[in-house]
Amino acid sequence: MRHRTFRHQESFGGFLGHGAKLGCSLCFKSFPKGFGEKQDYSGFDHDNWVLRTNAEQRRRVNRLSRAQSKAEREQLESRFGIRYTILLELEYYDAVRFCAIDPMHNLFLGTAKSMFKLWIDSEHLSRPVLTQVDERISKINVMTDVGRIPSEISSNYGSLTADEWKNWTMLYSIFCLTGLLPDNNLKCWQTFVMVCRTLVKPSITMDDIRKGDHLLMKFCREFEALYGGLAVKPNMHLHALLKECILDYGPLYEFWAFSFERYNGLLGNFHTNNKNPDVQIMRKFLTCSFADSIQPPQEFPEHFAPLLPHDKDEFYSMEGCKQLYFASTSEMG
């Protein structure tokens, strides 16, 4: 299954998928693959990589538009690693810089999850060892605002949420894996944990960015030396370019997808008839917008006040809108 970060880049930026020879949206590094072979994403000498630019992207798309046949266009697409996207019709659109790497998928649903699976597949984490990991997790007391504790990780690791992978990486993993994971594997993982603790903060400095980038490259090279080049995942290649996105958009908290995923959950909990969910959700937004614009009446407040949420944020929550709608219709009836 293709990584979500690459799917978004392919859709909005006009880039090819990560299975292409030039599968990166930010640089022109080539990922070789022979017939029937696994693609090789190894190599982290990113100082020698040629970065993509918006001007070069548009120039090559113009070259695609002059192709005389479908075969010629597909050949150029493979050669350049891009295809046409209608968003390039917008003069302000920067196809390269506007396709940011999502840190949530890149770090936690990407590397953290894939490394845990790698340890299981290689039997570094056998069933008895995973049982000990579960026992150690159950002994940890954390603050209530940390979120859900990853329980029964031995059997449920495949269904952990991004937030649980973040908690596992930054809070639980070092304590739970010490003495159970081989030392060389644990040392490599410790480098990744240091990366996350350096970069995953609401506010970071330029020194944090430089330190995080240095540790990411150290981790990627240690991973390649330990597990081999063919074990390197495409999102690990993007680790080397995460610094560029931080310099463009600020701390990871500013542009990672946690808030979008949370809101997707709210939308998913909204009941529809499964025929026109988009129309029904839009009606909900319009209802909320209309309700927010209503000025509370000066007369008869005892009749109208119970119909309006006390907290303004409730206007924009699914449950708040639903309660407002049913309250108003029942009152009118």
pLDDT band at 120 (very low <50, low <70, confident <90, very high): very high
Tell whether 161 is covered by a domain: yes
Tell whether 247 is covered by a domain: yes
- Exposed, middle or buried: residue 208 (CB in 10 Å: 0-12, 13-18, 19+)? middle
Whether residue 200 sits in one domain with residue 156? yes
Contact 133, 31 (CB under 8 A): no
Most confident of 84-88, 121-125, 194-198: 194-198
Contact 150, 172 (CB under 8 A): yes
Whether residue 126 sits in one domain with residue 229? yes
Instruction: Pull the structure tokens for residue 298.
Output: 């000066």
Q: Please state, in angstroms and rounded to a whole number, the distance separating the CA atoms of residues 293 and 285.
A: 13
Whether residue 218 sits in one domain with residue 108? yes
Whether residue 287 sits in one domain with residue 246? no
Whether residue 297 sits in one domain with residue 188? no
Tell whether 157 is covered by a domain: yes
Whether residue 290 sits in one domain with residue 243? no
Whether residue 74 sits in one domain with residue 198? no
Residue 147's identity, in one-letter code, is: G
Is the model's pLDDT at 106 over the cut of 60?
yes
Complete DSSP assignment for 167-193: HIIIIIHHHHHTTTS-HHHHHHHHHHH
Query: What is the tally of structural domains in the chain?
Result: 3
Whether residue 241 sits in one domain with residue 121? yes
Instruction: Pull the structure tokens for residue 235.
Output: 């999102």
Q: State pLDDT tens for residues 143-184.
A: 777 776 667 777 777 788 888 899 999 989 999 999 999 999
Contact 181, 119 (CB under 8 A): yes
Tell whether 264 is covered by a domain: no
What is the predicted pLDDT for the residue at 9?
46
Q: Please state, in angstroms and rounded to a whole number, the distance separating the CA atoms of residues 16 and 22.
A: 8
Instruction: Pull the structure tokens for residue 318.
Output: 């699914």
Whether residue 249 sits in one domain with residue 120? yes
Q: State pLDDT tens for residues 221-262.
A: 999 999 998 899 998 999 999 999 999 999 998 899 888 877
Q: State pLDDT tens for residues 271-285.
A: 777 778 788 878 877
Is the model's pLDDT at 321 over the cut of 80?
no
Instruction: Pull the structure tokens for residue 267.
Output: 């939308």
Instruction: Please say which residue of 255, 284, 316 terminates a domain.
Output: 255
- Residue partners of 302: CB distance under 8 A and separation at least 6: none
Whether residue 284 sits in one domain with residue 242? no
Tell whether 262 is covered by a domain: no
Q: Please state, in angstroms and rounded to a whole number, the distance separating the CA atoms of residues 245 and 143.
A: 31
Q: Please state, in angstroms and rounded to a whole number, the distance separating the CA atoms of residues 75 and 20.
A: 12
Whether residue 243 sits in one domain with residue 122? yes
Q: Which domain holds residue 326?
A: 270-332
Beta bridge partners of 82: 15
Tell whether 48 is covered by a domain: yes
Instruction: Please say which residue of 89, 116, 150 terminates a domain.
Output: 89
Q: Please state, in angstroms and rounded to a whole number, the distance separating the CA atoms of residues 100 and 242.
A: 8
Instruction: Please say which residue of 89, 115, 130 terminates a domain.
Output: 89
What is the predicted pLDDT for the residue at 196?
95
- Exposed, middle or buried: residue 142 (CB in 10 Å: 0-12, 13-18, 19+)? exposed
Tell whether 97 is covered by a domain: no
Whether residue 151 sits in one domain with residue 248? yes
Tell whether 98 is covered by a domain: no
